[in-house]
Chains A and B, each alone.
Chain A
Amino acid sequence: MDNIISANGLTKNFGRTVALDGLDLEVARGEVHGFLGPNGAGKTTTIRILLGLIRADGGTARLFGGDPWSDATELHRRLAYVPGDVTLWSNLTGGEVIDLLGRLRGGLNLAKKDQLLQRFDLDPTKKGRTYSKGNRQKVALVAALAADVELLILDEPTAGLDPLMEAEFRRCIEEDRLSGRTVLLASHILAEVEALCDRISIVRAGRIVESGTLADLRHLTRTTISAEIDRDASGLNGLPGVHNLVTRDHKVDLEVDSDQIGDVLSKVAALGVRSLISQPPTLEELFMRHYREDVPR
């Protein structure tokens, strides 16, 4: 497979703090890859290793097939980066920063820049120190999105954006996906990842605990079913794939493994269904499950 990013067993310690503990990450060409995890899980550390800003203590990382540490300069021509914490030079205007970063990268699509400035409603004539957090974020976003590069690395890019701008950001990423750009999107905003990403890697305490398409991941989880039925539901007890069965009068609540859902539903139907609510697992449940349970390290 044509992987833009591939990391194997990355480790990184800061003093006694273990930031990465054998992290693996594969991002294929042309996909929007969600890199999901709470604060401090190791997302930013991974990105900084991929950018060659810090060096991994162990493991290997390849970016476009090259070494992110020793080939940094050449690799950086092919990517654009939005840091999680955007600080600007206080005496440069937003417009100057956008142009400068673009030129340092080797070029900027000017038409696209103007279009993005409008879409994000950003005033490029203000000095760095006078921007609000959201506007600083927009400066970094416009600078990255307007670059003609193969890969975007975005570290919590919508922090500080209002909902309108967040929606605009999603439209931009959708367009990038269509044009075949690869995106690594680090985030802890589940709705954003759910809406945008082809594949997802969930990181916890410096390790990937789950990786795959949203459908793959859902497959590993349970669908919640609530039904009102005519007959006695005790027959459902002990069926393969059924968990947390609760029956009260004519109501039944249960969770079912996604691969058993057909069998279980037909059994429920046989009991005379009056109403039925079925909820697919959300990313949130998936996520919470990984973070509630103690994953052995």
Chain B
Amino acid sequence: MRSLVGTRQLVRFVLRRERLRLAIWVAALTVTPVGTASAFIGLYPSEVDRERLAATVGSNPALVSFLGPIYDSNVGALTAWRVGTIGSLLIGLMAVLTVIRNTREEEETGRRELLGSTVLGRHASLTAALVVASGAGLAAGGLIAMGMMGVGLPASGAIAFGVGFAAAALVFAAAAGVAAQLTEGAGAARGIAIGFVGFSFLLRVAGDGGEASGIGWLSWLSPIGWFTRLRPFASERWPVLLLFAGLALALGFVSYRLSSRRDVAAGVIPPRPGPATAAAWLRSPLALGWRLNRPSLFGWSIGLAVIGMVYGSVADGIGDMLDESPQLAQIFEQLGGAGGITDAFFATAMGIIALIATAYAIRSVLRLRVEEESLRAEPVLATATPRLRWVRSHLIYAVVGPVVMLAIAGAVAGVTYGAITGDVAGQARKVIGAALIQLPAVWVVVGVAMAIFGVLPRLTSVSWGVLVTCLLLGQLGQILQFPQWSLNLSPFSHIPRLPSADINLVPLLVLTAIALFLTALGMRGFQRRDVMS
């Protein structure tokens, strides 16, 4: 136990650093499901209403693929279905970010060394990060369980629901613990761990979407799939918790083994020496931006291509489900034919891909602030580099990056689906269109982030809040019957739902104009303000 000396103090220290961030996370994670449950109670008071809802959405294969199967039509089960997947994604994100920030990032910045020279065991820092991240998960789970009971739902379901959240946090925290041992850079470690969370989501999407094609077992490989299969409020299957426990313990074991074999600040994957001189093309701010943004652009593009492929292959299974149910086929016939449901599926899928591409874009804008804050912008701006040229060298990734990603994801999804149905060219064109039409909305968020960076630089990270707001409005707004004006706040709500809808140029042009205006505002602001850390 010598290796754990000082963990208690470190836990307090980590809590002190993270208290505001974690409080916001836990509050958001609690309010979302509890609010959804109470909204369901208000909006669908009678059993008949809920059964009708469950029958409609539960038979919509696109929704089943994104959100998982519906197991019962009571309020609890509907809530668990609606927010279970997105909730476990978000709590996973919270766990990953907390663990990496307090392990690998501390090592990369050298702050870990300052602490390591005091009386501190070898594993204390990893343990403290895992304890805090899991603790936050447990707190959220506990509050969710109490909240669900508070709105009058059965205790056993509420507990299963809360425990499921906590278990997801535990598993993803342990996964981040492993990722933190692998690389020297915190960015790469974060990428690996978030990739694991995303991969879990995709396995579930593929499994639940491909139930008819016999790949339903994929969901059983995913912690997010386990959460669904815990079946809160629908005769809970408690043994599923053993899967969470087993994986968390295994990942925890691996992370401690790796941690005891490596030096502080070193990774398991050793760094290699690089070139002694800069390549001939590395001679402009733009080239530096390319060098800095290249790894993440490739990583995110590959990730979105994989998501696109999953969506493309799932889309065909959705058509199959309709074949099995003539009544359903009839319903969708009225909505625009059997093609209507795949079109709707692709519209939703590309909307989700657009949100992910927006996350990349925000990250690219925020990189300006990171460069400024870390004082790396200063030596560049002290050369013959005009300020706006430096801004553009990063902003271009926020503007063009999503174009590339949406085009790739749309192409891969369309080609995959087209290859199955025998219409590659036609489907690819349709789905790429559905993807690219999202761009004006993405750019509006980029504009907001840029305006904040230029005018109120210390608040730049508020941009993430803009994305989360768009996400929640888009995901929950309609089913919880938010007022229309609030739904309209999200730029994504104005995007025509291609491929089935008609292209309406007016909202696209207005959104692009807003994006341009906000970006110009931010650039002007940056040109007039002090460079500050």
Interface size class, chain B:
35 or more
**Are B276 and A104 in contact (CB-based, < 8 A)?**
no
- Cα–Cα, bound, A161→B113 (Å): 20
Q: Which of B187, B278, B376, B386 contacts A87 (CB 8 A)?
A: B376
**Across the interface, do B273 and A99 meet the contact criterion of CB distance under 8 Å?**
no
Asked whether A130 is an interface residue with its Cβ less than 8 Å from the other chain, the reply is yes
Q: How far is the CA of A48 from the CA of B378 in the complex (A)?
A: 9
Within 8 Å CB of B282, what residues of A? Answer: 96, 99-100, 103
Instruction: Report if A170 contacts B (CB, 8 A).
Output: no
B504 within 8 A of A: no
Is the pair A126, B273 in contact by a Cβ cutoff of 8 Å? yes
Neighbouring B residues of A8 by C-beta, 8 Å: none
Inter-chain contact A53/B381, CB cutoff 8 Å: yes
Contact B184 A101 (CB under 8 A): no
Contact A140:B379 (CB < 8 A) given known A54-B530, A105-B384? yes
Q: Does B469 contact A (CB under 8 A)?
A: no
CB <8 Å contact, A83 and B274:
no
The contact of B382 among A51, A97, A127, by CB within 8 Å, is: A51
Q: Is A81 an interface residue (CB 8 A)?
A: yes
Does A251 touch B at the CB level, under 8 Å?
A: no
B42 beta carbon closer than 8 Å to chain A: no
Interface residues of B in 372-419 (CB under 8 A from A): 374-376, 378-387
Give the interface centre of B292, B374, B376, B387 by most chain A CB atoms within 10 Å. B376
Does B258 reach chain A (CB closer than 8 Å)? no
Are B274 and A125 in contact, with the CB atoms below 8 A? yes
Q: Given A54-B531, A129-B184, are A104 and B274 neighbors across the interface (CB < 8 Å)?
A: no
Quick check: B376 and A89 within 8 Å, CB to CB? yes
**Which residues of A are found within 8 Å of B284, using beta-carbon distances?**
103-104
Instruction: Encode A117-153 as 1/0 by CB contact (under 8 A) with B.
Output: 0000001111101100000000010010000000000
- Known contacts A73-B385, A76-B384, A85-B375; A95 and B292 CB within 8 A of each other: no
Verify A93–B379 contact, CB threshold 8 A: no
**What is the total number of residues of chain A having a CB less than 8 Å from a CB of chain B?**
43
Give the complex CA separation of A54 and B382 in angstroms.
11
Per the bound structure, the CA–CA distance linking A231 and B381 in Å amounts to 68
- For window 29-71 of chain B, which residues contact chain A by CB distance below 8 Å? none
Of B271, B274, B292, most buried by chain A (CB within 10 Å of CB) is: B274
Residues of A within 8 A of B531 (CB): 48, 53-54
- Contact of B295 with A by CB under 8 A: yes
Q: What secondary structure prevails in chain B residues at the interface with A?
A: loop
Chain A residue nearest to B389 (CB atoms) is A73
A99 x B277 contact (CB < 8 A) = yes
Inside 8 A of A105's CB, which chain B residues have their CB? 383-384
B2 within 8 A of A: no
CB contacts (< 8 Å) of A55 on chain B: these are 530
Set of chain B residues within 8 Å of A86, measured between Cβ atoms:
379
A243 interfacial by beta-carbon distance below 8 Å:
no
Residue of A nearest to B108 (CB): A129
- Min CB–CB distance A53 → chain B (angstroms): 4
Which B residues touch A48, using CB under 8 A? 531
Q: Give the residue name and chain of the A residue nearest to B533 (CB).
A: A85
A96 and B278 in contact, given A104-B285, A106-B384 (Cβ under 8 angstroms): yes
Query: Within A69-110, which residues are at the interface with B (CB < 8 Å)?
Result: 72-74, 76-77, 79, 81, 83, 85-93, 95-101, 103-106
Indicate if the CB atoms of A91 and B374 lie closer than 8 Å. Answer: no
Which residue from A89, A101, A127 sits with its C-beta under 8 Å from B383? A101
Judged by a CB distance under 8 angstroms, whether B275 is at the interface is: yes
Instruction: Give the residues in chain A near B530, CB-CB below 8 Å.
Output: 53-55
Provide the bound-state CA to CA distance between A89 and B292, in Å.
Answer: 8
B496 at interface by CB-CB < 8 Å: no
Contact of B291 among A72, A92, A124 (CB under 8 A): A92
User: Are the CB atoms of A124 and B277 closer together than 8 Å?
Assistant: yes
Contacts of A96 in B (CB 8 A): 274-275, 277-279, 282, 291
Q: Closest chain B residue to A79 by CB distance? A: B382
Contact residues of B between 178 and 197, Cβ < 8 Å to A: 184-185, 187
A-B contact pairs, 15 of them (CB 8 A): A52-B381, A55-B530, A72-B381, A73-B384, A89-B376, A93-B273, A95-B277, A103-B282, A104-B384, A106-B384, A125-B276, A127-B273, A127-B274, A129-B108, A130-B271
Q: A53-B531, A92-B291, A104-B385 provided; 15 other pairs, C-beta below 8 A?
A: A53-B530, A54-B530, A55-B530, A72-B386, A73-B386, A81-B379, A91-B295, A93-B274, A96-B274, A96-B275, A99-B277, A103-B283, A125-B276, A126-B273, A129-B271
A residues with CB within 8 A of B = 48, 51-55, 72-74, 76-77, 79, 81, 83, 85-93, 95-101, 103-106, 123-127, 129-130, 140, 143
Closest 5 CB pairs of A and B: A99-B278, A93-B274, A54-B530, A104-B383, A125-B273
